A and B are shown apart, each in its own frame.
Chain A
Amino acid sequence: MAALIAWLVVAEVMPFDAWLGIGLGAAGVLLVLYAPDDVKKAGAESL
């Protein structure tokens, strides 16, 4: 979304190939956010 808004606001173009990397980045975050409950609980307790 930030890349799209930057394109609209300052005409900054994100190369087409880069979108695969954005997908990988999102996958990495989702792996942690949707970890099984025991992993999430351990993370929450550590904080």
Chain B
Amino acid sequence: MSLTNEPRWIPIAPWLFLFVWSAGYGVAKLALESTTPLNLLALRFVGVALALLPFVLIVRPVWPSNLALRDLLIVATFLQLGHFLCIYFGLALGALAGVLALFAASQPVLIAMLGSMVDRRIPSVRIWVGLMVGLLGASWVIFAQGHISDGALLGAVLGFIAVVLLSLGQVYDKRQRPECDPLMIYVIQYIFASFVSVPVAVCFEGYQTEWSSSMIGALSYLIFGNSLLGIFLMLTMVELEPFLESRASYFWCLGWRL
């Protein structure tokens, strides 16, 4: 895709992406009222993989090399499996959706920190100060709730682990830069995540899903809104990066690029 003019809707793309991403936490909590964390994880991954398959049949992207495939699976283990596993268990344990989103939003700080550490450089003072201020804010949010249960506290810790896994996956992805068609990246990652999460869910939780209207709506949003629309917006923003670089809102989305 080569675009020379900025499409009219592009200025709102970063904000739409932020909305789509932010809503994922509350909607996942709604879904968890009707199912369990591993079941939700498996249903989401299978749903997205199935929804992406028709696009693969139409576009017929090139299959990546074995080396790129290995890198994609490693990234998927961090980004999809590890990250969402921690988020869904954290929410199920009682952590506030806003707290987990706050941790996730601090991802650019962690990426800068991990990038420096991987490169064996001491992170700059500014990065340290950013991390400290961010952690202070997160601690404030957690303890401002007054008396919190052990489950909610453990859930918040899982939220922090989730963003660390997410950052590790992104740092690995940016260092290795596996060469692959963008659509194929997501298809491979979601199919792999499905093959891992379904047996794990069946083994540890069994099938525990109550198909209420709220569950169907929430799962539909997680598949078509949070995942597919999110992927479309992200790919579009990457494609139109020169148009968006000057916008402050875009920088909030930078950390989510694959």
Among the 9-residue stretches B18-26, B67-75, B194-202, B230-238, the one with 4 or more Cβ atoms under 8 Å from chain A is B18-26
A6-47 interface mask toward B, CB cutoff 8 Å, 1 = contact, 0 = none?
A: 111110101101101111111111111111100100110011
Known pairs A5-B27, A29-B106. 15 more at Cβ < 8 A? A1-B22, A2-B22, A3-B98, A5-B23, A15-B145, A15-B146, A17-B140, A20-B137, A21-B138, A22-B98, A26-B137, A28-B132, A32-B112, A42-B121, A43-B116
Please give me the residue from chain B that is nearest to A33 by CB atom: B251
- Within 87-101 of B, Cβ neighbours of A (below 8 Å) are at 96-98, 100-101
Q: Which 5 A-B pairs have the closest CB atoms?
A: A28-B134, A24-B137, A3-B98, A21-B140, A2-B101
Residues in B neighbouring A33, C-beta threshold 8 A:
108, 251-252, 254
- Asked if A46 meets B26 with Cβ closer than 8 Å, knowing A12-B96, A25-B102, the reply is no
* 23 chain-A/chain-B pairs, Cβ below 8 angstroms: A2-B22, A3-B98, A6-B96, A6-B97, A9-B26, A9-B29, A10-B33, A12-B29, A14-B98, A20-B137, A22-B141, A24-B134, A24-B136, A24-B140, A25-B105, A25-B134, A25-B137, A26-B137, A28-B134, A29-B109, A32-B108, A32-B126, A32-B127
- In the complex, the answer to whether B30 meets A28 with C-beta atoms within 8 Å is no
- In the complex, the answer to whether A10 meets B137 with C-beta atoms within 8 Å is no
Interface assignment of B65: CB less than 8 Å from any CB of chain A: no
- In the complex, the answer to whether A10 meets B29 with C-beta atoms within 8 Å is yes
- Central interface residue in A30, A34, A36, by most chain B CB within 10 Å: A30
Interface residue SS majority, chain A = helix
A5 to B20 alpha-carbon distance, docked (Å): 10
A5 to B26 alpha-carbon distance, docked (Å): 6
Interface assignment of B124: CB less than 8 Å from any CB of chain A: yes
- In the complex, the answer to whether B132 meets A1 with C-beta atoms within 8 Å is no
Shortest CB-to-CB span from B252 to chain A, Å, is 8
Residues in A neighbouring B10, C-beta threshold 8 A:
none
Shortest CB-to-CB span from B109 to chain A, Å, is 5
